Chain A
Amino acid sequence: MAELTGKYLVGVYDDDDTVLHAVPKLRKAGVKIEEVYSPFPIHGMDEALGHPRTRIGIAAFMFGLTGCICALTLMCWTMGVDWPMIIGGKDPISFPNFIPITFELTVLFTAFGMVTTFFISNGMGPGTHFHPRFDLRSTDNKFIMAINMGSNAMSEDEISRALRDSGAEEINIKQF
Chain B
Amino acid sequence: MHVTSPVREPLVQGGKTYADVTEDICRHVEGAPTKEWKIAFGISLLVLGYGSYCLAWTWWEGLGVWGLNKTVGWAWDITNFVWWVGIGHAGTLISAILLLFRQKWRTSINRAAEAMTIFAVLAAASFILMHMGRPWMAYWALPLPNAFGSLWVNFNSPLVWDVFAISTYFSVSLVFWYIGLIPDLATIRDRATSKVSRLMYGLFAMGWDGSAKTWSRYEYISLILAGLSTPLVLSVHTIVSMDFATSVIPGWHTTIFPPYFVAGAIFSGFAMVQNLMLITRVVYRLEDYITLEHIETMNKVITLTGSVVGVAYITEFFIAWYSGVEYEYYAFFNRMTGPYWWAYWAMMTCNVISPQLFWSRKLRRSITFTFFISVIVNIGMWFERFVIIVTSLHRDYLPSSWAMFSPTMYDIGDYLFSFGLFFTLFLLFSKYLPVINMAEVKAVIRSTSAELPKKIAGVAKVRHDLNNVGQRVPSYDKDKE
Kindly state whether residue B74 has any CB partner on chain A within 8 Å: no
Q: Min CB distance, B302 to chain A, in Å?
A: 28
Residue in B189, B209, B235 whose beta carbon sits within 8 Å of that of A1 in the complex: B209
A36 contacts partner chain B, Cβ-Cβ < 8 Å? yes
Question: Within the assembled complex, what's the spacing in Å between the Cα atoms of A79 and B143?
Answer: 11
Contacts A14-B455, A15-B455, A139-B187 known; A101 to B161 CB distance under 8 Å?
yes
Interface segment out of the listed B151-159, B285-293, B372-380: B151-159
In the complex, what distance in Å separates the CA atom of A104 from the CA atom of B18? 39
The answer to whether B317 has its CB under 8 Å from any CB of chain A is no
- In the complex, the chain A residue whose C-beta lies closest to that of B160 is A101
Q: CB distance B165 to A129 under 8 Å?
A: no
- Give the residue of A39, A108, A110, A129 whose beta carbon is less than 8 angstroms from that of B442: A39
- With A39-B210, A104-B165, A104-B235 in contact, is A78–B478 under 8 Å at CB? no
| Chain A: CB-nearest residue to B225 | A111
**Distance of B210 from chain A, by nearest CB (Å):** 5
Give the distance in Å from the alpha carbon of A100 to the alpha carbon of B241 in the complex.
13
Bound form: Cα–Cα A16–B442 in Å: 11
- Count how many pairs of residues, one from A and one from B, have CB atoms less than 8 Å apart in the complex: 198
For the complex, give the distance between the alpha carbons of A26 and B93 in Å: 42
Chain B residues with Cβ below 8 Å from A122 are: 213-214, 217
Q: How near does chain A come to B108, taking the closest CB pair, in angstroms?
A: 14
Distance, CA A23 to CA B156, complexed state (A): 57
Whether B439 sits at the interface, judged by CB under 8 Å, is yes
Q: In the complex the two chains form, is B221's CB within 8 Å of A103's CB? A: no
- A150 is an interface residue with CB less than 8 A from chain B: no
Among A1, A40, A103: residue with most chain B CB under 10 A:
A40
- When the two chains form their complex, are residues B207 and A131 in contact, meaning their CB atoms are under 8 A apart? yes
Across the interface, which residues of B come within 8 angstroms of A118, CB to CB?
179, 217-218, 221
Across the interface, name the chain A residue whose C-beta is closest to B164: A104
For residue B183, CB closer than 8 A to chain A, the reply is yes
Closest to A110 in B: B228
B456 at the interface (CB under 8 A from A): yes
Complex-state Cα separation, A114 to B18, whole angstroms: 30
Tell me, yes or no, whether B8 is within 8 Å of chain A by CB: no
Nearest-Cβ distance from residue B1 to partner chain A, whole angstroms: 11
Whether A87 and B207, one on each chain, are in contact in the complex, defined by CB atoms closer than 8 angstroms, is no
Contact with B along A117-129 (1 / 0, CB 8 A): 0110111111111
Give Cα A118 to B164, complex, Å: 24
Interface size class of B (residues with CB under 8 A): 35 or more
- Closest partner residue, chain B, to A134 (CB atom): B209
Beta-carbon contact of B206 and A124 below 8 Å: yes
Contact pick for A46, options B161, B216, B235, CB 8 Å: B216
Return the chain A residue nearest B146 by Cβ: A83
A39 to B214, CA, bound (A): 11
Q: Which of A82, A98, A110, A141 has the most CB of B within 10 A?
A: A141
Residues of A within 8 A of B202 (CB): 129
Chain B residues near A94: list those with CB within 8 A: 156
Residues 358-370 of B, flagged 1 when their CB comes within 8 A of A and 0 if not, give 0000000000000
Q: Is B213 within 8 A of A42, CB to CB?
A: no
Which residues between 40 and 59 of chain A lie within 8 Å of chain B, taking CB atoms? Answer: 40-46, 49, 51, 54, 56-57
Q: Do the beta carbons of B211 and A35 come within 8 Å of each other?
A: yes
A3 at the interface (CB under 8 A from B): no
Contact of A108 among B22, B172, B219, B455 (CB under 8 A): B172
Do the beta carbons of A56 and B217 come within 8 Å of each other? yes
Q: How far is the CB of A47 from chain B (nearest CB, A)?
A: 9
Q: Of A17, A85, A97, A129, which is in contact with the most chain B CB atoms at under 10 Å from its CB?
A: A129
B210 touches A38 (CB 8 A): yes
Seen from chain B, the residues whose Cβ lies within 8 Å of a Cβ on chain A are 17-19, 22, 143, 145, 150-152, 154-156, 158, 160-161, 164-165, 168, 171-172, 175-176, 179, 183, 186-187, 189-191, 202-203, 205-221, 224-225, 228-229, 231-232, 235, 239, 438-440, 442-443, 446, 455-456, 478-481
Show 15 residue pairs from A and B whose CB-CB distance is below 8 angstroms, ordered by the A residue.
A16-B446, A17-B455, A37-B209, A39-B438, A78-B152, A83-B150, A100-B161, A101-B161, A112-B171, A115-B221, A122-B214, A124-B208, A125-B207, A129-B206, A141-B442
- Which residues does A use to contact B, with CB under 8 Å? 1, 14-18, 35-46, 49, 51, 54, 56-57, 60, 74-75, 78-79, 82-83, 85, 87, 94, 97-98, 100-101, 103-105, 107-108, 110-112, 114-115, 118-119, 121-129, 131, 133, 136-141
The 9 closest A-B pairs by CB, nearest first: A128-B207, A129-B202, A141-B18, A78-B152, A41-B215, A46-B216, A141-B19, A40-B443, A136-B190
